[in-house]
Structures are given as C-alpha cells and as structure tokens.
Amino acid sequence: MSEKPIRVAVVGVGDFGRNHVRVWRENEGVTDDRISIGFSLARALDDHARYAESLAVLNEANRLTRSIRPWDAAHFSRHVDALLHAFDNVQRSVTDDRGGNVVFIVSMPRSGSSLTEQILASHPQVDAAGELMELSGVLQDESRHRNIAFPHWVPMATPADWQRMGSDYLRRTKRWQQRGILFTDKLPDNWLRIGAAMAMLPGARVVECRRDAVETCFSCFRTLFNEGTQAFTYDIADLAAYYRDYARTTDRWCTLFGARWRRQSYEALVADPQTQIRELLAFCGLPYDAACERYYDTDRSVRTASASQVREPLMSDTARAPKYGALLDPLRDALKSAS
C-alpha cells in the first residue's frame, strides 16, 4: 500500500499559515521526509514570528521522530549512576603529565563546542582534530579484553592499566600530534568518558562548554540530528532528564579535576569575547593570538550542526526562549523537576 503523498506547497510569506500546518499533520505514515519537512516548517514559522504555531509543529515533528528513534531515559540515568560510582576511588597517577598536548572539548549539543573548537583552531599552535572516536575505541577495546562493560571494570583498573590505555590513545591520535602543538578532541558526549580520559592522560585539559539550560534544551528540540545520534532530544521530559545527568556528571568532574577543567560559558563568551578568549588561551597554556578573535576567517572543515555559525562573528541575539515566553513553561518545569 503506497503512502499518501506529502502535500506542502512552496508559498509566499502572506500565504504561510495554518492551512499548511494542517495539511502537513494530515499526511499519514512516518517518513524521514515528513519529519524533515516538519522541522523545516517549524523554523519557517519561527522566522515569521509565528511562535505558537511553530512550537505546535515542532512538538508534532518531535513526536513523530521519537516514534522511530526510541530513548530510555531511566536506563541512561542508571548508567550515569554506575559511571559516577565507578570513579569514586579510581587508582590514577597524579604525577604523570602524559597527554599534556590534548584538549578535550565536551558539552551538551548546541552549547558552543564547535565555536570553542573553531576559536582554538585559529591559533597557530593548535590542530583541531574534530569529533574523534578514538577515546571511545580505547574503552571499547578494554571492555572486550576484560569481557566486562565500561564502566564496571573501572574499579579493577590499576595505574599501569590507565597508562597502557593512555599510550594506546596517543598512538591512535598520532596524526594530530606535532612538537609544540596542542590538538583538540571535540566529541560532545565524551563527558561520559572524561573520568577515564583523565585517568589515562593526567596532563590533558578539558574545556566544558555550557549554555543556559533552557536555551540548550530548546535548541536541541528544534534540531533534527543525524539518524542514530542525540536520540534523547525528541521529548521534553527526556531532554530534561539528560541535562540533569549531564550537569551532575560534569559538576563532579569539574570538582575532581580542578585546574585541568575550564567551564566555558556561552553567554559570557558572547558578552565579552576578548576577555573570554584570552582566558581560554591562557587555560590551554597558549599565548594570545588575535586570529582567535577572527575565528570566522579560519578555513577548515566543520561537519556539525553549527557549521554555519562558526563562519560568522558572534551575535548577541541568539537566545530563542524569550520569544516564546510562557509557551516554554513545560520545558522550564521539566528542568526544575529534573534538578
């Protein structure tokens, strides 16, 4: 039985209204095209300040996406509980400076991690490696070797084990290592693996990019990510629970790793970029370079959802939540109950 065709016309601003939302909703079946059109339609309505209609379409597009991209928030929270418990008494070397040329960049999605990497990549002493899977690969190999899933083998690991895994990570990332050059490893969900990363590489630094919780979650909710990624973003309750797990974990790492951890506020960066960029470079042990303030001129490949933003100067009016006002109260309430 063939699917009913999706009937959405290309219309002018004056014709762009409720009828097209109704037609989109009436189409049967869940398809990638239908979902994509829903997210696009929501953004178009937002562009025309039709915020209530935009959110209504967005809710439906996310509902459809959730129906084919499941997420178990309770299971994930239990995984985070186990992760934090595993690192209560981890045996790590505190004198080893191995990994001193590595800067991990972690964050929630849509929180400025691509921007932060672009700023650092503009420095002549930094090589931006992008979203690497090497750290995950090291931990997966260790799990296979022990026949125990991460993080359950963590309490059994000795300092020699962590040193061995750290050497494996450095071997895997050899192509980005040059004398006198730092390299960035920017995989946002590495926040789940940073306890292991810092046990493996005690000399490494971590930049955590954090943005206002409502803005972060709403930006995620407005984004259709590549299939197989960020499945938690298509439901408000799941988003709030995930943000809670993210915040409590990174708060723990921030306390544990102290001077090796920098929390980079997106709002502070927008408000005073020169000061924040100077502090960021100093944290990484780098001299100031004016090119970092002109990060948008740096020619490099960026394959994330923020690819277009890193080509532009910082804008001070990126906040979306105030435009929606009370319409986002369910998200605000969910974040309060999750905190």
Check which CATH number belongs to the domain holding 249 and give it: 3.40.50.300
Beta strands in the chain (DSSP E): 102-107, 126-128, 182-185, 205-210, 261-265
Whole-number pLDDT of residue 15:
42
Whether 158 and 283 share a structural domain: yes
Whether 243 and 332 share a structural domain: yes
Whether 108 and 22 share a structural domain: no
Please state, in angstroms and rounded to a whole number, the distance separating the CA atoms of residues 23 and 9: 10
Show which of 68, 85, 110 is a domain's final residue. Answer: 68
C-alpha count within 13 angstroms, C-beta hemisphere, residue 19: 8
Whether 59 and 117 share a structural domain: no
Give the count of domains, the chain.
Answer: 2
146 located within any domain: yes
Length of the chain: 339
Whether 134 and 61 share a structural domain: no
Cβ pair 209, 266 in contact under 8 A: yes
205 located within any domain: yes
Whole-number pLDDT of residue 125:
95
Whether 81 and 31 share a structural domain: no
Residue-by-residue DSSP string for 86-116: HTTT----SS--TTTTEEEEEESTTSSHHHH
**Structural domain that includes position 44:** 13-68
Please state, in angstroms and rounded to a whole number, the distance separating the CA atoms of residues 137 and 100: 20
Whether 131 and 183 share a structural domain: yes
Whether 113 and 162 share a structural domain: yes
254 located within any domain: yes
Give the pLDDT of the chain (339 residues) as one tens digit per residue: 344 433 443 333 334 444 444 444 544 556 788 899 999 999 999 999 999 999 999 999 999 999 999 999 999 999 999 999 999 988 766 667 899 999 999 999 999 999 999 999 999 999 999 999 999 999 999 999 999 999 999 999 999 999 999 999 999 999 998 877 999 999 999 999 999 999 999 999 999 999 999 999 999 999 999 887 899 999 999 999 999 999 999 999 999 999 999 999 999 999 999 999 999 999 999 999 999 999 888 865 555 555 556 556 677 777 899 999 999 999 999 999 754
CA distances to 94, 149, 155, 230 from 145, rounded to whole Å, are 25, 10, 15, 28
6 located within any domain: no
Whole-number pLDDT of residue 27:
47
Whether 133 and 197 share a structural domain: yes
CA distances to 4, 168, 272, 275, 276 from 268, rounded to whole Å, are 49, 36, 6, 9, 7
